[in-house]
Homo-oligomer: A and B are copies of this chain.
Amino acid sequence: MARKKITIKDIAESANVSKSTVSRVLNNNTPVNEEKRLAVLEAMERLNYKPNVVARSLAGGNSMTIGVLTQNIGSPFYDKVTQGVIQGLSDTDYSPIFADGRWDPEIETSAIKTLIDRNVDGLIMVGGNLPGSDLDSLRDSKPMVIVARRLPGWDNKCISVDNVAAAKDATEYLINSGHRKIAHIMGIPEHQDARDRYMGYQAALRDSGIALDEDLVVKGNFSSQSGVLAIESLLMKGVSFTGVFAGNDEMAFGARLAMYRRGIRVPEDVSIVGYDDQPNSAFMTPPLTTVAQPAEPMGEAAAQALLAFMRNQEFVPPRLDTELIVRESVHRIR
């Protein structure tokens, strides 16, 4: 185990060729006589040679690492996306290296800098708040893709999902179940996702000829706690509603708890639809009807897209569809 590191020089000597030749068969970017190539491969095999990634990185300029900018490890949805990225990279020669931006443009900037200083070959940004203008300048310096976020002008480098349509679907499901007075708990308004979902909610109402009642939409921040606060405030204001579309599952949980506290039955008195389908949602009481996003596939697709991009290959992303998972938190009325 602890025996001397074997290097390209060892292989060269063992195969009776020069370092250059070994390097060439390693990268097979230059034709090499078949006989020698086999000799080299044999030597590598026999000596159990593993090229030194660091040296390779220094000499060749590429580090075989992909920088991943996350925003908040610990959030179920983004974690899954991140997991997908790791998965997508796992069978390649690239390793991911992470930095966390905490949804703060300033921190994001410095995190990106850290990653670039580490000489990453490509960048994957999972979500993020950094204004597009800041990214534009980086765009040409490194191959990069953005996942779980849609940015104007970056269309072919964004892997994401149609939040508007999905939110519209979810809201329509409530409408089709007979609900008219549907509240919406919105996520952080600074996040495009939150705005998109709100737009989908509005679109569904509009299409069904239901007037938008501003009193029914209340701002949250994607946390469970903000979900309970939202319901409290609705109740406080005395507005009546029979359905709630929450901007994510966490807030749906909060909403559900607030109702439990008030003795409001779910779904008999009020129906709830969430967004994200995080693992626990199937185990809420009652199990939560919610929008499933293909979080992991998105992450994987991002990894593949980046790889393809770096190799100048064409990449057609897989279909990334959301799906309304119907469980038991919606009651048909009228």
| Contacting residues of chain A (45-75) with chain B, CB-CB under 8 angstroms | 50, 52-55, 57-58, 63, 65, 73-74
Which A residues from 1 to 15 make CB contacts under 8 A with B? 1-2
- A153 within 8 Å of B by Cβ? no
Residue numbers in B under 8 Å from A162 (CB-CB): none
Interface set, chain A 72-131, CB cutoff 8 A to B: 73-74, 76, 79-80, 82-83, 86, 90, 95-100, 114, 117-119
On whether A97 and B95 interact (CB within 8 A), knowing A83-B73, A119-B52, A141-B1, the answer reads yes
Closest 8 A/B residue pairs (Cβ): A253-B283, A260-B285, A73-B83, A224-B283, A54-B57, A257-B283, A97-B97, A54-B58
**Are the CB atoms of B86 and A98 closer together than 8 Å?**
yes
- Inside 8 A of A141's CB, which chain B residues have their CB? 1-2
A76 to B148, CA, bound (A): 20
Q: What separation, in Å, do the CA atoms of A13 and B232 have in the docked complex?
A: 67
Stoichiometry, as copies per complex, reads 2
Q: Are A54 and B63 in contact (CB under 8 A)?
A: yes
Are B63 and A74 touching (Cβ within 8 A)? no
A256 to B50, CA, bound (A): 51
Residue pair B54, A119 in contact (C-beta under 8 Å):
yes
Q: Give the contact-size bracket for chain A.
A: 35 or more
Which B residue's beta carbon lies closest to that of A72? Answer: B83
A53 close to B119 (CB less than 8 A) = yes
A98 to B94, CA, bound (A): 11
For the complex, what is the distance from the CA of A282 to the CA of B250, rounded to whole Å?
Answer: 11
9 A-B pairs (CB sep. < 8 Å): A50-B117, A53-B117, A54-B54, A74-B79, A97-B97, A228-B283, A253-B283, A257-B284, A280-B280
A117 cross-chain contacts in B, Cβ below 8 A: 50, 53
Q: Given A63-B54, A117-B53, A287-B257 in contact, is the A95-B86 Cβ separation under 8 Å?
A: no
Measured CA separation A278–B65 after assembly (Å): 32
The residue in chain B whose Cβ has the minimal distance to the Cβ of A228 is B283
Chain B's nearest CB lies how many Å from the CB of A77?
Answer: 11
Asked whether any CB of chain B lies closer than 8 Å to the CB of A143, the reply is no
Contact A82-B73, Cβ < 8 Å, known A119-B52, A280-B280, A283-B253? yes
Instruction: Please name the residue on chain B nearest to A256 by beta carbon.
Output: B285
Q: Which residues of B contact A282 (CB under 8 A)?
A: 224
Which interface residue of A52, A53, A65, A80 has the most chain B CB atoms within 10 A?
A53
Shortest beta-carbon distance, A102 to chain B, in Å?
10
List 5 additional contacts besides A2-B141, A96-B97, A254-B283; criterion CB under 8 Å. Answer: A54-B58, A224-B283, A253-B280, A256-B285, A284-B285
Complex interface: chain B residues within 8 A of A74 (CB): 76, 79-80, 83
Within 8 A of B (CB), among A143-157: none
A267 interfacial contact with B, CB 8 Å: no
